[in-house]
Amino acid sequence: MRVLILIFFIVFSLHARTITDDSGRVVVVPDNITKIYAASPPLSMSLLAFNPDLVAGLNSPFNEVQKKYVGSAYDKPIVGGFMGQGNTPNFEILASVKPDVALIWTRMRGYEKILAKLEKLGIPVLLVNNESIYDLITQFELFATLTGERTRADELIAYTKKSLSLVEQLQERLKKQEQIRYYFAQGLDGLSSECEGSFHLEPFKYAGAKNALDCKMSSNYGMEKIAFETILLSDPDVIVAMESVFVEEIGKNQRFKSLRAIKDAKLFLVPSHPFNYISRPPSFMRLLGIRWLIDSFYSSLRTKSFEEEKKEFEKLFFPQLKES
């Protein structure tokens, strides 16, 4: 029996290797990795940008408009994921998908129980940081290490570093501008938002703007309920909205119409084609979202046509557009 066990481990080691994840755990993973399950939308989006063919299962389905942007990922099984508010994957579907490795966000509450469950299914699990937009760089590095697709990783990392470098260079010029105070309106009624410390607000930080709200986070999920009176007292310079319905019906909304930002026509709808530029989920689209915010708030700082920037971005992050 001991001989058989020894043989098993020798054979397994010939087709496996170890990787140290972002929490310092040493994890044994297969040599050849072709299917990866990302357990939360931000990590799934990073994987999608790297190579849609690697996506083992989806957290939620894509819509018809997004189809041409996501390539082969469009038809992958819906596994679900950890998206806040108690959402969890369908472990039966996940087991049938048989990913070579699973990725879990290190900040996810209660990840230890999920980690144990995935490991019982025989799925190696890597804990991955997603605290900041800068973590895109290490995520792309990880995907290259797992798959050997170094050229693709280098392309994405180079663009990410260049984009963030340009934003960093703008910071001194932004400090000389009168700081914009914003209200980030979420939900169909515009009465949900984010408080300081929320990673959903990171693009605003790099766009040199300040949250008009003074509130505290109650969870990582965000979308804190905000009383209209609080918004009125905060008197934001601009309102940045996530929902087109909210923007379209603002003329009928007597309360919001009373705000200075609305009277001054300073209401901006976050672009969401093919995915949201700011959040829900916070993804690589934020690289474009930061530029959009700066362009919207401080047009005098414009150094390049936003449409030009968008074309360059889409050419790199959605190469499947050329193939469709």
Q: Are residues 136 and 231 in the same domain?
A: no
Q: Are residues 11 and 151 in the same domain?
A: yes
In SS3 terms, 259-296 reads as: CHHHHCCCEEECCCCCCCCCCCCCCCCHHHHHHHHHHH
Residue 19 pLDDT exceeds 80 = yes
Q: Are residues 241 and 135 in the same domain?
A: no
Tell me the chain's radius of gyration from C-alpha atoms. 22
* Cβ-proximal residues to 286 (8 Å cutoff; 6+ apart), any chain: 133, 202, 203, 277, 278, 279
Residue 120 pLDDT exceeds 70 = yes
Q: Are residues 199 and 144 in the same domain?
A: no
In SS3 terms, 209-278 reads as: CEECCCCCCCCCCCCEECCHHHHHHHCCCEEEECCHHHHHCHHHCHHHHCCHHHHCCCEEECCCCCCCCC
Q: Are residues 106 and 201 in the same domain?
A: no
Interval 300-317 mean pLDDT: 90
Domain region containing 244: 177-323
Specify whether the CB–CB gap between 63 and 274 falls below 8 A: no
Q: Are residues 266 and 319 in the same domain?
A: yes
Question: Which residues lie across from 210 on neighbouring strands?
Answer: 181
The answer to whether position 290 is within a domain reads yes
The answer to whether position 72 is within a domain reads yes
* Predicted confidence (pLDDT) per residue in 208-253, tens digit: 999 999 999 988 889 999 999 999 999 999 999 999 999 999 989 9
Q: Are residues 10 and 154 in the same domain?
A: yes
The answer to whether position 167 is within a domain reads no
Domain count within the chain: 2
Question: Quick one: what percent of the chain has pLDDT higher than 90?
Answer: 79
* Cβ-proximal residues to 233 (8 Å cutoff; 6+ apart), any chain: none
Joined tokens for residue 63? 């819509």
- Please tell me the predicted confidence (pLDDT) of residue 85: 58
* Predicted confidence (pLDDT) per residue in 65-91, tens digit: 999 999 999 999 999 988 665 678 899
| DSSP single-letter state for residue 121 | T
Domain CATH code at residue 230: 3.40.50.1980
